Structure 1
């Protein structure tokens, strides 16, 4: 009976997965725009531009994949954001273990800077550039965007399935590939590489969402991140996606995505 109830719940989620998302505008996509070159490597992003006149808000989108691959390409949320009137820059970054932390954070930070520098070219309102990431991408957009004194400023951040405190996984092969040394030998780096330790009083507002049944990045991580934000009086909202784990939350958690989009809109700067 329990499995049957879960199956019905999943069918309901799938049936409602497009609620709130309407293709209201045409979107032009420009693939593989180079925003950074390192030796012989070019880092690129795909730009989604809605057919709306005048300066538009923008979102820089960062993919997941355990810092080692691009298994979560973020194409779905990129299209939804663009259809909702945002210019979207869906970026790549250097991957572990070939590139170690903080290379990935530097790449995301540089992509944010590049977007600000090219705001006029893509009709972007520079006062309203936000960030969105899932899983490893959530970790990276928070690392690059939380400390406004050190990084390009983001208006708000949406982070799903966030690895917030890396020290909670001392035996994680993925974190080891990212950092390059085990926790016992590099505790300071593991601590420094955790978003919970980068919240400051003027960090941008953050929307966190997480799958209730996430066994890869436990829901406790969302609570830890929210607590760190609240301690600094940074506006934060949380959204638990019922009955879904890490991968399905990425794939079909459109209720959370809809709420994330509304959160970004609510924190836009007024002219």
Structure 2
């Protein structure tokens, strides 16, 4: 009897998963589209386009990896977003320590500009472009989008495992590689590279999610970012992924990601 109950439960889970897949919008993926050319390199992104006619919302997706590698390629969330009807541009940017801040932030900003400029070509709603990043990618999308006075402006931002206040890690080798100087040498630069210091009255709504057991980027960082948003009365929402560290949250934050997608859709309707 126990075996039958377990088998029935497994069949039910598989059936539900199949229904979820069937409801997902079909999409096409084009890899390595150039969005920026520099003297040293060509920067590209992968574009996911849902099989839906007419103008569509879009999301600029930014990978993590401690600013120095692309260890989290964000392909999973890109597919989820495309399946939910969003045009997705999953980009690459120049890496530390060869390139220092604000190079990475500028690359993200230029990718947003590219997406805006090519909106007609890819049937994108220019007024409905959001951003999503995890870890270093969360830091960069916040830096590029929080205090953005000029168009294009992000409709909303999703930030997971966010390094929000870099000054909390004065001896971090990762932040040192990003800035190129120690905090003792360049405290003002470390502060300027911290998203908590770039919230403005015109910043877009932000959804923050973080692993409960994150030891690489402590959960306190989510609180610091949320407090900075609250002080400027920016709509925000937080989600703690229970019993998960930094990597596990990136890999298995299903409920947080689904809530984040719902957050983007809500902001698209309310603004």
Offset, 1:152: 3.2
Match of 2:142 in 1: 142
1:254 — aligned with what? 254
Gaps (5+ residues) in structure 1?
A: 1-14
> What value does the CA root-mean-square deviation take over the aligned residues?
1.9
Q: Which residue number in structure 1 is paired with residue 216 of structure 2?
A: 216
Q: Which has the higher helix share?
A: 2
Q: Indicate if the aligned counterparts of 1:21 and 1:80 stay in contact, CA closer than 8 A.
A: no
**8 A Cα contact 1:127 1:269, kept in partner:** no
**Higher RCO (C-alpha under 8 Å, 6+ residues apart):** 1
> What runs of 5+ residues in structure 2 fail to find an aligned partner?
1-12
Q: TM-score, normalised by structure 2?
A: 0.91
State the Cα distance separating 1:101 from its structure 2 match. Answer: 0.4
- Aligned counterpart, 2:159: 159
Cα distance in 2 for partners of 1:88, 1:133 equals 12
Counterparts of 1:19 and 1:193, CA distance in 2: 44
Deviations 1:123-143 (A, max 9, x none): 101110000000000000000
Determine the C-alpha separation between the residues in 2 that align with 1:189 and 1:152: 25
**What is the match of residue 85 of structure 1?**
85
Q: TM-score, normalised by structure 1?
A: 0.91
Count of residue correspondences: 257
Aligned residue for 1:66, secondary structure, equals coil
Measured against aligned partners, the alpha-carbon deviations of 1:220-263 in whole angstroms (never above 9, x if no partner) come to: 00000000000000000000000000000000101000000000
Report the counterpart of residue 6 of structure 1 in structure 2: none
Aligned partners of 1:20, 1:226: CA distance in 2, in Å?
Answer: 35
Partner of 1:207: 207
Structure-2 residue corresponding to 1:127: 127
State how far apart, in whole Å, the 1-side matches of 2:225 and 2:262 are.
Answer: 20
Deviating above 4 A after TM superposition, structure 1's stretches of 4 or more consecutive aligned residues are: 18-21
1:34 maps to which residue?
A: 34
Once the 2 structures are TM-superposed, how far is the Cα of residue 151 of structure 1 from its aligned partner? Answer: 6.6
C-alpha displacement of 1:199: 0.1
